[in-house]
Structure formats: C-alpha cells, structure tokens
Amino acid sequence: MGNKLVGRRRQAVEEKYTKPQGLYVNNDVDIKKLRKLILESKLAPCYPGDDESCHELEECPICFLYYPSLNRSRCCMKSICTECFLQMKNPNLARPTQCPFCKTPNYAVEYRGVKSKEEKGIEQVEEQRVIEAKIRMRQKEMQDDEEKMQKRLESCSSSTSAMAGEVEYGSASAMSYNSPMEDAETASSQNTSVRQRGSRSVFPLDCSLFFFVKFCNEVMLA
C-alpha cells in the first residue's frame, strides 16, 4: 500500500525563513521549536516584511508590513505575521495572552497558506461592509449633532425675543407711570398756579373799592 497524506500539506520553506528576521528584539524565542512549527506548516514562515503594498501580499495589522502569507487567529480569523504573534505570546507573561483583535483569552493561531482568490474576495466584501457601516454611523452622529445645534439656536432665538418684548413693555410702562411723589409735586404746582391767578384777580377789586369809598367820603365832606 502506498503512504497516504495525512493532515496538513507541508510546503517547502527556505532555511533562512525559519527564524525571526529581526522585526523585534526578542531573545526568548525557542529557535528550534519555531523552526519545527514552520516546517510543519503550523506557523507562517518568517518572511521579511515589505513596506509597499502589492496585490499578492497580505498586510499584518500589527506591524503594518506586507507578507506573502500570514497566520490566522483561531478566534476571529484576523491575520498576523509570525514575528508579531511571537511578540504577543511572550512566555514570560504571567497571565494568558488575549487576542489583540477580539480580546479572546488563550490566543492561538493557525497557518493555512496563501489566501485563495475566493478568500480575498470574501474579505474585501466584509471590509467594505464594515467601512459602509462606519460611514453610516458617522453620518447619523453628524445629523444628530446638527439637530441638537438647531434646537439650541431656536431656543436662544425664542429667549432673545421674549427678553426684547419685556424691555419694550417696561419702557412703555415707565413713560405712563408717575410715582406718588411726582403726582404730589404736580398737584402742588397746579394749586400754586391757581392761587396766583386768584390773587391777581382779587387785587384789582380791592383797589377799586378803596378808591370808591374814598371818593364818597370826599363828596360828603364837601
């Protein structure tokens, strides 16, 4: 009987890609164990990252470099390069490592090789949906903020109109209203004018009577 292929299909990896490329200064990596995992296709090869994007390369969302292939997070299927994964899974950490993307504990990854066109297409559709959802949320927030600002402006305008009406009413009331002291002064002034007019009208009568009596006395004496 011929030997059957069992489990994951292994790919030929150059020896230089079985060890870290120096992205991080990390002396705690077990090089022998790492080499074994890479040769068994359980971890992605440690390819050097590229700064420029290319259609055939995948971007690691941690270091933002581009690689021929990446590992997949088991919890949320997010991509990550091997060196970033080793940095996250530092053996000196006291508590279990959380997924840097979805915060699931006991973070683990698997390597599935280079993404197929179908996988890339599905990811692009999903990313587009996420972007559109964020845009809708942002537009809703801006619309809500605009409505709140409009209500505040309308409230301020109503308050200003009410205050202007009160000021006009107060001015009209002040013009038509006299204090008791002002009323008393006005009445006193009017009485004084009446008395003066009365005295001027009485004085001529007294003089005429005086001269008339004097004239009568002179006639009688004559």
* Sequence spans of domains, the chain: 15-114
Query: Which has the closest alpha carbon to 20: 33, 6, 2, 7?
Result: 33
- Positions in the chain whose pLDDT score sits under 50: 1-8, 194, 199, 201-203
Distances, alpha carbon 51 to alpha carbons 43, 130, 211, 216, in Å: 22, 25, 133, 141
pLDDT at 182: 58
Q: What is the pLDDT of residues 38-94, one digit of tens each?
A: 999 999 999 999 999 887 899 999 999 999 999 999 999 999 999 999 998 877 777
Tokens representing residue 208 in the block = 């005429």
Cβ–Cβ < 8 Å for 24, 87:
yes
Within its chain, how far is the Cα of 219 from the centroid? 116
Query: Which has the closest alpha carbon to 21: 77, 78, 67, 72?
Result: 67
Tokens representing residue 190 in the block = 């009017």
Amino acid present at 197 = R
166 vs 129: CA distance, rounded Å: 56
pLDDT at 144: 92
pLDDT at 76: 92
pLDDT at 3: 45
pTM above 0.75, yes or no: no
Cβ–Cβ < 8 Å for 111, 43:
yes
201 vs 171: CA distance, rounded Å: 43
